[in-house]
A and B are shown apart, each in its own frame.
Chain A
Amino acid sequence: MSTMSGVVAVNTFREAVRDRVLYNLVFFALLMIGAAILVGQISIGIDRLVIVNLGLSAISIFGLVMAIFIGVGLVYKEMEKRTLYSLLAKPIRRWEFLVGKYAGLVLTLAINTAFMTIGLAAALFYVGRPFVRSDASILVAVYFILLALALVTAIALFFSCFSSPMLSTLFTLGIYVAGIFAGDIRNFGALTKNPMMKGVTSAIYYLVPNFHNFNSIAAAAHGEPIPFALIWQNTLYALLYIVLLLVASSAVFSQRNLK
């Protein structure tokens, strides 16, 4: 990442902080406190399962809402409010600006996720469960959630370069949902006899990122170890998609007339 992108990234993070985006942490904290108190009273032996499931799902949903709703406005808002005009008159290339905006939001998501993970750990500690080695799978699950969020942000940024926030939200959400059910879509294609439907389902399966691969919440909740190979595989898979999306975003945005 260039120095110019770094300057934009820090400002994007500052914008998120000043726009009180991190206030969602308060809701997460309340959710965790409530869950810890409730689980402590009603569950016998499954407190870890419930809290980890609830905590990781909340981290994923809170992050997803942030990634989509802020991501789709990353570029659009700058064009709409014309803050981009004075910025692009400075010695910064358009792709540097895009990468900076992207990195700024991913930094915000990472810090948000880190705080929520600490909240989850605190809830687990509250229910009186000592930390054990297998809890490392929780951290891996959090890492996978972050990779998925970074990928969703890249998709939102791509649409933000040429589409309105409402359409970008629909497109991004659509791709995310299709990505979660990518396996099912392929299975549906295998069952159907319609060749056109087969083609469409295969195209969706290969084009849309498979978000199901990033979901290891169940494994983490049950304390099952997550294979090291899956960590590498998911990291490279996400990076490849992110780079492709950033290159495509830059190509679109570099040609765009800013009216």
Chain B
Amino acid sequence: MSSHSPAIDIQGLTKDYPVGFWRKRMRRSLDNLSLQVQEGEIFGFLGPNGAGKTTTLKLLMGLIFPTRGTASILGRPIDDVAMHREIGYLPEQPYFYDYLTARELLDYYARFSRYSTADRRTRVARVLERVGLTASADVQLRKYSKGMLQRAGIAQAIIHDPRVIFLDEPMSGLDPIGRREVRDIILDLKMQGRTVFFSTHILSDAEMLCDRVAVLHLGKLRGVGAPSTIVSMDEQGMEILFEPGEGRSLSASLAQRATPVGGRYRLDVREAELYSALDQLRDCNARILSVAPLRPTLEDYFMRLVERQPEQPTAPVEASTR
């Protein structure tokens, strides 16, 4: 593979699921997704529940089959099982063989990469240390908490030093310390030159970690780029902080739009409406405390996207071959 070809290349990936008693109607879970992830990137895959994130990851892992479209990882098609030596995968809400200990589980998974016994032992100890499970390495997984299972899941995804790591909601179920540790692991992987593709709906994590993000909603890609680019794609605005004038009440339209914040008010307006809003405030004798440009967060972008496109009823699509 050349150094410029993408680590993950998705072209028109579409997935329809049969629904209904006779399974003749189809529900589109992923619609014509195309994107590329470059080697060494941390790529965030964002979207609310049901957006199609897990479907995309399952398609890439070969757990389900696409209705249309193709994808390749490290230049090799996703149905090439040998390519799986180069990838790691943490499923959403992972569940492992609970009769095994974490050490046995990791040793089991390491066997699929054909390491020698001594090599497996070293790797398992190192990865257990990395995810903070050394102390409970010999406890059966049935006695693990959700957070500990998540760490075991991350450990099995990286036990064989994969070049591309797919993590489905890796922060889910973790306490703040656990989330921070997972963030550190992801950053560590980037330092080692690995590509990390992770889905999440915790937007602050994505803003903090990702080189680029893609936003998915109702199975469709809504935007892709650096977190700062993504948010600037949306309309910018201004925030006016003010105190109402003594003895004067706000006009009805201002009172409706302004948000009370501890005796003060905050008014978010579009840039084009700024001067008219200031005029209205001056008429009410309001004391302007500050006027600042709004710096929308990824969360704002995300919420506006979801509000603009509320969940629609299942649209029937053409029957597929699978």
Contact = CB atoms under 8 A, between A and B. Distances in A.
Interface stretch (A32-40, A84-92, A193-201, A232-240): A84-92
A89 B63 CA distance: 8
B interface, size bucket: 20 to 34
B160 to A, nearest CB: 8
B90 interface: yes
B131 to A, nearest CB: 15
Given A3-B114, A82-B95, A86-B90, A257 B65 contact: yes
Interface in B296-322: 322
B289 to A, nearest CB: 53
A91 B94 contact: no
Given A7-B112, A91-B112, A91-B113, A86 B94 contact: yes
A4 B153 contact: no
Contacts of A257: 17, 63-65, 322
Contacts of A3: 114
A18 interface: yes
Nearest to B153: A86
A258 B88 CA distance: 18
B99 A15 contact: yes
A18 to B, nearest CB: 4
B61 interface: yes
B97 A90 contact: no
B63 to A, nearest CB: 4
A41 interface: no
A255 B93 CA distance: 24
A259 B89 contact: no
Interface in B70-111: 81-82, 84-85, 87-91, 93-97, 99-100, 108-109, 111
B85 A91 contact: yes
A7 B61 contact: no
Contacts of B293: none
B199 interface: no
B266 interface: no
Interface string A230-259: 000000000000000000000000010111
Contacts of A86: 89-91, 94, 96, 109, 153, 156-157
17 contacts: A15-B99, A19-B99, A82-B95, A83-B96, A85-B58, A85-B89, A86-B91, A88-B63, A89-B91, A90-B84, A91-B85, A91-B112, A91-B113, A92-B84, A257-B63, A257-B64, A257-B322
Interface of B: 17, 58, 61-65, 81-82, 84-85, 87-91, 93-97, 99-100, 108-109, 111-114, 153, 156-157, 166, 322
